[in-house]
Structures are given as structure tokens and as C-alpha cells.
Amino acid sequence: MRRGPVGCRGKSVDFDMTAPWATSLPDNITPGLKQPGQVQESEAGMDQKRSDRINSVFELAGGFFILFHIVRVLHDKSVAGVSPITIAFFTLWGYWNLYYYRSIQQRWSLRATYLIIAMNSVWLVLLIYYSMKGV
């Protein structure tokens, strides 16, 4: 037995340095402490959650801004200067994001994507409808 560092209440702690767990770590690594260049899982998880929530705010804002376009098309009952192909592309991108956000476990962004898809889909239908009506 070897005397270890001071433990609780200033008393030394006896421990066996021949135990397999005690000798398996290199000398320069202290268990439980973050080493240079190493990211703790909890820190990485928190950063991912923060990024997910920030991204979801942008997705939600995008959905509300598209709502302004929908209201404008309904008010004007016509389409000018907007290509349905562009809106179709961004709608398809939204459907891709449903798969993508689920695969990288971005829950908040996944939920916000439903709003983007709904708004883009409505806008696309209105653009096609009023484009054909005007012809």
C-alpha cells in the first residue's frame, strides 16, 4: 500500500497502486479532468443544443416572413417577379431538412422546419394558381 494524496478532512488515503485501473492511465492524465484539446461530452452536447435552438429561431423567423408573402399574394390576387421554381426548390430543401435534422438529432430545428415547409407549400400553390389564372 502506498499513501495517497490528502483526502477528506486532511487525512491521507491509502490505495493500492497495483490495481489494474490505477496503472492503466498514462502518467500525464488525471482521471476526471479535461485535458488540453479534449472536449467534455457535456460541453459538446450543450453547444449542440444551443446551436439547434439558434437555428430553429432562424427557421421559425423564415416561416413567419414567408407568411408575409402569402398574405401579399392573397391580397393582390396576382404574381409578379417571383418564380415558382425558386419556391419549389426551397420547399424541397425543407423536406430534405426533415430527414437531415432527424438524422443529426436537431429536435428544435426539426420542429421549426414543419413551419417552413407548410408556408413554402402554401406559397407555391398560390403562385402556381395565380400564375395560371393570369394566363
34-68 pLDDT tens trace: 555 665 556 767 788 999 999 999 999 999 999 99
Q: How far is CA 117 from CA 52, 87, 90, in A?
A: 18, 10, 8
What is the architecture of the domain spanning 42-134? Up-down Bundle (1.20)
67-120 pLDDT tens trace: 999 999 999 999 888 889 999 999 999 999 999 999 999 999 999 999 999 999
Nearest CA-CA partner of 112 in 58, 47, 51, 45: 58
Question: Is-above-0.75 flag for pTM?
Answer: no
Question: Roughly how many angstroms between the first and final C-alpha of the chain, as a whole number?
Answer: 92
The single residue listed with the C-alpha cell 425558386 is 86
25 in the Ramachandran plot: left (φ > 0), alpha (ψ -120 to 50) or beta?
beta
Which value, in Å, is the radius of gyration of the alpha carbons in the chain? 28
Nearest CA-CA partner of 124 in 75, 82, 62, 77: 82
